[in-house]
Structure 1
Amino acid sequence: MKYANSNKLYIGGVWKDGQSEKLYENTNPYNGEVLSTIKLANKRDIDDAYNAASQAQKAWQQVDNAEKVAIFEKAIAHMESRFEDIVRLMIEESGSSIAKANAEVWGTIAILRDAITYPDKMQTEIYHSVIPDKENRVSRLPLGVVGVIAPWNFPLVLAMRSVAGAIATGNTVVLKPDSQTYIIGGSFIVEAFEAAGLPKGVLNLVVTDLEEVGDYFVEHPIPRLISFTGSTAAGKHIGTIATQNLKKVILELGGNNAFIVLDDADIEQAASAGAFGRFFHQGQICLSVNRIIVDRKIYPQYVEAFKEKVQKMKVGDPREEETFIGPLINRKQVDKVLELVQRSVSEGAKVEIEGKVEGNVISPFVLTDVTPEMAVSQNEVFGPVASIIPVDNEEEAIKVANASIFGLSGAVFSGSLDRGIRVADQIHTGMIHVNDQTINQEPHIPFGGEKSSGLGRFGGEFSFEEFTTVKWTSVQKQPRPFPF
């Protein structure tokens, strides 16, 4: 299947070849089909993209709010008109199931609708002064140029939340999607805004090879903010470079999310939620359930209920309607997941359900008698592996949940809402859900983590804060006396 502009960069309003000598072959992770081949960007292309964004920024900032809103409305209409195409491409390029792809497109449109409200918030407010006849003006302003580095697992929505937030607040953008999903996470986003009439230079797209460009995208002197979504290791590196250059960062990083099942929980409901939260999109989500922590009083019953849910999951071709678990993004990820399982089994974990590997597809593993020290407990497992940890009581559940360098999402199941909320309040995480699974996102709610799970928040007024700055202008209306 061919896609328009799937082999081009987009710089200064022009679709063009990259200047690198390197080519990248974009393949379907399920069947290996070649989707496109692109000539990658080099450092000169990054320069061109940032320069184009810089040159366009002041004019874009001055564009009337109503015109900005109209562009966003047209971008939404374009995405809605191409909805089925986007879903199909997401399945083919990222291995998403049909349900996951549909959810991601709807989520992306919701983010665009929320961003429509940002232009009218770019206001100047008047504050009183302690100095006679002085007026204090505090203006909300764009930062300037924003560099966006987006991941492969939710390529469309996780790129759009930064692109939309930045553009709606008067910034211009250079977007660098993951090369494995650069069409859905880059080309389609550009296409939607181009069709909506976004001025040239406001949004630019580069696809790069890390070995060739290194840290140049982050080090570049033009961007004032780097928005990165990805692994904790990469995020720490990017954060270090950005802050050394006094750039602002938003980092949404890894998760090792705890799913606590207390002794008074509805076991069937907690098993359904845990299975969904662990295996949705093959477990390739920073928000996925990673550690299922269950009170020993109900541990055997929970394990049996959980296994029953897992055994109903269809595994295989993501193009088929009933498939719940499709391929991992590449063979490297498959090997990494299997290595974590093997290490944990050697450490004493019991295999309740043994997964099978076919190509990049892994059917579910379920491990029990897992301890907090095992490899699957200590690491974010980006694959279809469930780890169920027994604990003696509520206090131990809280202790185990907090025994992680991560703090992105979490969940607590209890028959008492008050108890569930009380336990949730004691978990050190940016987001947590009572009697629900860990994968939740709403466009107006703060999204982000604590500890090694990142810095900053996306969503609604919280995104608005991240992509803007404030400026104080004081106006002395009458001459002020001075002592000389």
Structure 2
Amino acid sequence: MGAPETLSLFEAAPASGHVFDRGQWRPARGGSRAVHEPATGAVLTHAGIANAEDMHEAIGHAHSAQRAWAATGARERAAVLLRAAQWLQAHFDALALAIARETGGIVPKGQHEVKEAIQICQIAAGLPMQAQGQVLPAAPGCLSLAKRVPHGVVGVISPFNFPLILGIRSVAPALALGNAVVLKPDPRTPLSGGVIVAEAFQHAGLPAGVLQVLPGDAEAGEALVSDPRVPMIAFTGSPAVGRRIGELAGRHLKKVSLELGGANNLIILDDADLDAAASAAAFGAWFHQGQICMASNRVLVHEAVAAGLRERLVGKARHLPVGDGASGQVALGPMIDARQLQRFDSVVKDSVAQGATLEAGGTHEGLCYRPTVLSGVKPGMRAFDEEPFGPVVNLVSFASDEEAVALANTSQGGLAAAVIGRDVARAMAIGEQLNAGMVHINDQTVNDECTNPFGGPGLGGNGSAVGGPADIDEYTRWQWLTIKAAPPAFPF
């Protein structure tokens, strides 16, 4: 791995200022926008900003290409997915460093994205080879089948935080099952969320038009959600934008897969190993600067061990190095941009003004925010009520298991929850009562294995949206087919 190889991804790629349409990069009608490296402020590349006209044209091309792709044999579609995985593997080191630089992550975070993207493509390659329906009971002389068929064109809107994973986890299974895809990555991370995906599938031999990639703002997103030729939208992002997409898609009677956010609760019981619990809480809250939909937003700790946990977390916060994630010398990199940092900083400051105690952190240099610990966090404070999306441990004390459950469920739902304690039966009993889509016992909340249904209730989205056995259900629909040897006689 080296800087020259990685730099070429930004400097030499024809994607700079362009959108990917019918297998080629062309200038975006909406213009272009500089993409800044969060750690240094350097311009890495320029994102092509698609407008509504760009989007509608690209959807038309995807719509035209989809039928032939769906008619392509299952083995051929599977082979394309495997070749995409091979391309990602062949460029592993350069892609990992590029993702770290563009997203402000540490290099292991970039490596994780590429590793997971490879596995997602490999898993998706198996989908076309699975049974695609059932034989139903029918009268003699009639064959009745329930088939799974592709939706047609699937729109995918992905965010900035884990852009490769959160785009390709929808793109790969949707393509494998015979859909065409229009991908709109966040314009802050066009390479990680778009260029890499387009290049992988282009080198894999995917027919032109089957995958269209157009970074853009709300104009492009609304055009994608509103176009009647796109019967399904898969979105990952904030609850506020998810509500808007759900409303707009509902008007057009579209299927939506919304993976959003909400509060994630990590409960630490009084019998927990505090060293292990502190390590888990620190990772769950601070990894990738807390910019993770599964981050441990609230750390609920039994009052008998609250002081000990707080002391351990403050020690970690004061010693973890923060800086350029791509340097390999730090634990936390910068936040994605000034707007995100300012919003997070206001959550911290407002919560202190509301009565929380700032135990560590609360300061930043440039976009690098120190890992932060707040104690005395309670309902009614922004740190409790909102998803911070920044590097903070919000310590909330409780006196009983019942109070812990009540505090954790004081929200409109969330993606993940976790419980840490030596008494596994007790921890499981608590976990079973939590209003979350994913629950982990003796672990923190940031977990995903590529094979698990991923989602949550309420603000978490609209259920288990992506992953493993959920993919066939998500990216295809039922069609009933009957076959008779001859038309029956009718009384008309």
Where in structure 2 are the equivalents of 1:337-376 lying within 5 Å? 337-376=344-383
TM-score in terms of structure 1 length: 0.97
Please show how residues 232-381 of structure 1 align to structure 2 within 5 Å: 232-381=239-388
Look up the match of 2:3: none
Q: Is the 8 A contact 1:446 1:462 kept in 2?
A: yes
Which whole-Å deviations, capped at 9, do the CAs of 1:206-264 have from their partners, x for residues lacking one? 12233x54621210111010010000000000011001101100000013100001112
Q: CA separation in 2, counterparts of 1:186 and 1:434?
A: 35
Q: Which amino acid aligns with 2:411?
A: S
d(CA) in 2 for partners of 1:159, 1:122:
26
Using the alignment, how far apart are the partners of 2:12 and 2:426 within structure 1?
A: 52
Q: Is the Cα–Cα contact under 8 Å of residues 27 and 36 in structure 1 kept in the other structure?
A: yes
Q: How far apart, CA to CA, are the structure 2 residues paired with 1:123 and 1:152?
A: 34
Q: Tell me, in whole angstroms, the C-alpha distance in 1 between the residues paired with 2:375 and 2:440.
A: 23
Check if 1:17 corresponds to 2:24.
no
Tell me the SS of whatever aligns to 2:292. coil
Correspondent of 2:95 among 61, 79, 86 = 86
C-alpha contact (below 8 Å) 1:280/1:325 kept by paired residues: yes
| 1:476 counterpart residue number | 484
Partner residue of 2:155 out of 147, 151, 176: 147
Residue equivalent to 1:425: 432
Shift of 1:307: 2.0
Distance in 1 separating the partners of 2:263 and 2:136: 44
**C-alpha deviation, 1:137, in angstroms:** 0.9
Are 1:284 and 1:382, in contact at CA under 8 Å, matched by a contact in 2? yes
Task: Indicate if the aligned counterparts of 2:47 and 2:190 stay in contact, CA closer than 8 A.
Answer: no
Structure 1's 297 and 26: CA in aligned 2 closer, same or farther, altered over 3 A?
A: same
Among candidates 182, 199, 206, match of residue 190 of structure 2: 182
Equivalence for 1:401: 408
The CA deviation at 1:74 is 1.0
Structure 1 residues 192 and 312, CA gap change in structure 2 (3 angstroms): same
Which residue, out of 45, 48, 51, partners 2:57?
Answer: 48
* Separation (CA, whole Å) in 1 of partners of 2:234 and 2:221: 17
With 295-304 and 229-238 compared, the bigger mean Cα shift is at 295-304
Render the CA deviation track for 1:349-380: whole Å, top value 9, x for unaligned: 11111332111110111111111221100000
Structure 1 counterpart SS, 2:297: strand
1:339 shift after superposition: 0.6
Structure 2 residue 462 is matched with structure 1 residue 455: yes
**Cα distance in structure 1, aligned partners of 2:427 and 2:405:** 11
Would the aligned equivalents of 1:372 and 1:389 in 2 still touch at CA under 8 Å? no
SS of the residue 1:325 aligns to: coil
Q: CA deviation at 1:302?
A: 1.4
Distance 2:157 2:485 in 1: 46
Aligned to 1:156: 164
- 1:138 and 1:472 in contact (8 A); partners too: yes
CA distance in 2, matches of 1:216, 1:39: 16
Answer yes or no: is 1:193 the counterpart of 2:195: no
User: Could you tell me how far apart the structure 1 residues matched to 2:420 and 2:236 are?
Assistant: 29
For 2:114 and 2:221, locate their aligned partners in 1 and report how far apart those are by CA, in whole Å. Answer: 31
Instruction: Give SS of 2:469's match.
Output: helix
What is the CA–CA distance in structure 2 between the aligned matches of 1:349 and 1:154, rounded to whole Å? Answer: 30
Deviation of the 1:65 alpha carbon: 1.3
Alignment match, 2:132: 123
Cα shift at 1:322: 3.4
| Distance in 2 between residues matched to 1:133 and 1:64, nearest whole Å | 29
Distance (Å, rounded) in 2 between the aligned partners of 1:317 and 1:273: 23
Q: What one-letter code is carried by the residue in structure 2 that aligns with 1:470?
A: W
- Secondary structure of the residue aligned to 1:297 is coil
- Unaligned segments of structure 1, at least 5 residues: none
Partner of residue 146, structure 2: 138
Provide the C-alpha distance between the structure 2 equivalents of 1:322 and 1:401, rounded to a whole number of angstroms. Answer: 35
Q: Deviations over 1:149-204 (max 9, x none)?
A: 00000000000001001100000011100000011100111000000110011100
Paired residue secondary structure (1:9): strand
1:477 CA displacement:
3.7
Partner of 1:113: 122
| Structure 2 residue ranges without an equivalent (≥5) | 1-6
Aligned 8 A contact 2:317 2:372 in 1: no
Shift of 1:483: 5.1
Match of 1:412 among 419, 424, 427: 419
Q: Encode CA deviations 1:22-69: one digit per residue, 9 max, x unaligned.
A: 321111111110011244222221122101111111100011111111
Residue pair 1:27, 1:35 contacting (<8 A) in 2 also: yes
Q: Residue 26 of structure 1 corresponds to which residue in structure 2?
A: 35
**2:145 touches 2:482 (CA, 8 Å); kept in 1?**
yes
Specify the code of the residue in structure 2 equivalent to 1:81.
A
Q: Label 1:343 to 1:104 Cα distance change in 2 as closer, same or farther (>3 A).
A: same
CA contact (8 A) 1:135 1:477 kept: no
- Deviation (angstroms), 1:480: 4.4
- 1:74-97 deviation per Cα after TM superposition (whole angstroms, max 9, x unaligned): 111110111111111111111011
SS at 1:323's partner residue? coil
Q: How do residues 437-452 of structure 1 correspond to structure 2 at under 5 angstroms?
A: 437-452=444-459
Q: Deviations over 1:446-471 (max 9, x none)?
A: 11111111014211110121000111
Q: By how many angstroms is 1:421 displaced?
A: 1.1
By how many angstroms is 1:18 displaced?
Answer: 1.0
Q: Is structure 2 residue 392 aligned with structure 1 residue 382? A: no
The AA in structure 2 aligned to 1:189 is V
Alpha-carbon spacing, 1:303–1:38, altered in 2? closer, same or farther (3 Å): closer
User: What's the CA shift for 1:482?
Assistant: 4.8
1:406-435 CA-partner distances (Å, limit 9, x unpaired): 321011011111111111010011001000
